Structure 1
């Protein structure tokens, strides 16, 4: 078993307390520096006051009309503008899918679609506003880059990095305040996973704020039982870091994926597909089951009801390790959901 080491433990929390706040601040920073950076809004609130006061020529609120929003973004992008589209993940990926596919992705236009309230983070709004399928939809579109940050500091770096990428980008953000994972100076490269914790027994691959936190918490619980888990933050779902996954499959007993998304077609599907082609390995997916979540509860409560929690990650790691004679599994801590 390897010695545990974590990187990116926060020395202090970034000023923004949520991914959305970090995104807004960074978008304003980019727009102040480059007149080609525009915000196209869908009556989301939070950006209009500052943009209209400082940069009225770079802000357009098109209202709750997501299909039209995407078409307008494609139109202005074709003239040299770098538009950031501000809307909910559920509506960007489903209601406006035809426009995203034909108007944006088909022409490989530099439209940055920022989908907020991702996964089950809009818990109280119910299935109409949940985004359980957006990763599967967006990563299936040619030319599309797909990313989701672990905390506000990574959101800042992700938005900056996306501004001048070729082609369209989908950035997936949660709704709620997000505890820090990183220090402000942590590295960020599109398409390259970040190793948050080393370990030689099992690899946990997570994407998004709560999944990364669940992965780190589960790894600490496993470590207390003598099991060392490597934790990878797979912030870029497309293009996926194939080399990091192959290394994980070769150096640990298998891979657990963790996501605030359906187990069908998201991070877990992408990892399983990649390893099936490059280095077959045991993969256990922790994600929302193949069902809508209509029960009441907070974001974490709804995720737990649907199969995503720290306990679920621990049990998945145990499943990967079961049968290895050199690993004794004893991690139970109370009743799991």
Structure 2
């Protein structure tokens, strides 16, 4: 008999995977960790299929809890389980977590330093169902909350490492989840994830592209295109939004003439704003172009359609890197 939230569909999957990928890296890694650590429990809010926690649920049904369509309850249950010694992974849509359950994340989890790991799916424009399901402001809101670690992984490899690190590290985490067929960008051999550390993926001396989440892959694509036209573009990947690697940002920006920040979220208040604040405070004066989403509700539509319309696709990022021209949408 099908579980309550095992409905058909591919909601929240990243579109147009051309290269190698992994399927459900979050749930697969969590199930592996569950074999090692009996303290790990999983929770969802009627979204186990669409948050990819099913591998853990099926392996440990007695350690999985579905709160139904009640995100506040799911987060509060996670905080309660953490209070009795569990490591609680709570996974559902980012929009519902950061709007409906924000107070519970802030007070029951972060304020209490609870060992709760929030896996937030369908961030930014990934979800096709418009403003009600698109979480554009999550990084803006979450980076303002004390005592929480905020991470936006680039690919399947980094997501697995982030889940592992979160399980091994006390405290509250907010992790943007990548689900379905998740691209593989990084080489597993020698890969390391460290909380609060950015990674210089490519050196350059003309422009620095600073990215987070799966937008970093697009930054690399733009850097390749720029190189073909004689523009040397560095690429700095910033997976941890909080705590922020201000030293790496300053070092990278100091070596170039201008900076382009790319993110799958609001242009104001997220990584772009954090970069501007960091450089201003350090007295580093270089032009910063922020590529992100404007101050508006965005419509229903495929990820590819919305990203092309609002300037988050490869073409728009490449144009910004090469020519420093970009129209805000």
Task: Quote how far apart the aligned CAs of 1:41 are.
Answer: 1.3
Number of matched residues? Answer: 305
Contact 1:200 1:229 in 2 (8 A): yes
SS state of the match for residue 132, structure 2? Answer: coil
Q: Which moved more, 1:159-168 or 1:44-53?
A: 44-53
Equivalent position SS for 1:315: helix
Q: 5 Å matches for 1:1-337?
A: 13=20, 16-17=22-23, 21-46=24-49, 50-123=55-128, 125-175=129-179, 177-185=181-189, 186-209=191-214, 211-280=215-284, 281-296=286-301, 298-318=302-322
Deviates further, 22-31 or 310-319 = 310-319
Which of 180-189 and 229-238 deviates more?
180-189
Contact 1:89 1:116 in 2 (8 A): yes
Aligned-partner Cα distance in 2 for 1:84–1:305? 35
Provide the C-alpha distance between the structure 1 equivalents of 2:81 and 2:216, rounded to a whole number of angstroms.
36
Q: How far is 1:50 from its partner? A: 4.5
Q: 1:176 to 1:59 in 2, by over 3 A?
A: closer
Note closer, same or farther for the CA distance 1:193–1:50 as it changes in structure 2 (3 Å cut).
closer
Per-residue deviation at 1:317?
A: 2.7
- Distance in 2, matches of 1:52 and 1:271, equals 39
Contact 1:193/1:234, CA 8 A, preserved across alignment: yes
Structure 2: any 5+ residue segments left out of the alignment?
A: 1-18
Structure 1 Cα separation of the partners of residues 135 and 296 of structure 2: 12
Per-residue CA distance 1:12-39 (angstroms, 9 max, x = gap): 945x24xxx0000011111111111100
Deviations 1:186-242, CA, capped at 9 Å, x for gaps: 222111111221111110011111x11221111111111111100111111111111
Distance in 2, matches of 1:41 and 1:308, equals 30
Give the CA deviation at 1:255: 1.4
The CA deviation string for residues 300-329 of structure 1, in whole angstroms up to 9 with x for no partner, is 220121221223223333465x9xxxxxxx
1:175 and 1:60 map into 2 onto residues whose CA distance is 20
CA-based RMSD of the aligned residues comes to 2.0
8 A Cα contact 2:201 2:236, kept in partner: yes
1:56 offset after TM fit, Å? Answer: 2.7
- Give the gaps of 5 or more residues in structure 1: 1-11, 323-336
Matched residue SS, 2:247: helix
Secondary structure at 1:178 match in 2: strand
CA distance 1:313–1:33, shift in 2 (3 Å):
same
Query: What SS does the aligned partner of 1:291 have?
Result: coil
Cα contact 1:89–1:117 (8 A) shared by 2: yes
Alpha-carbon distance in 2 for matches of 1:76, 1:178: 29
Greater CA drift, 268-277 or 82-91: 268-277
Relative to the length of structure 1, the TM-score reads 0.85
CA contact (8 A) 2:42 2:89 kept: yes
- Contact residue 260 and residue 303 of structure 1 kept, 8 A: no
Contact 1:119 1:174 in 2 (8 A): no
Query: Retained in 2: the 8 A contact 1:289–1:307?
Result: no
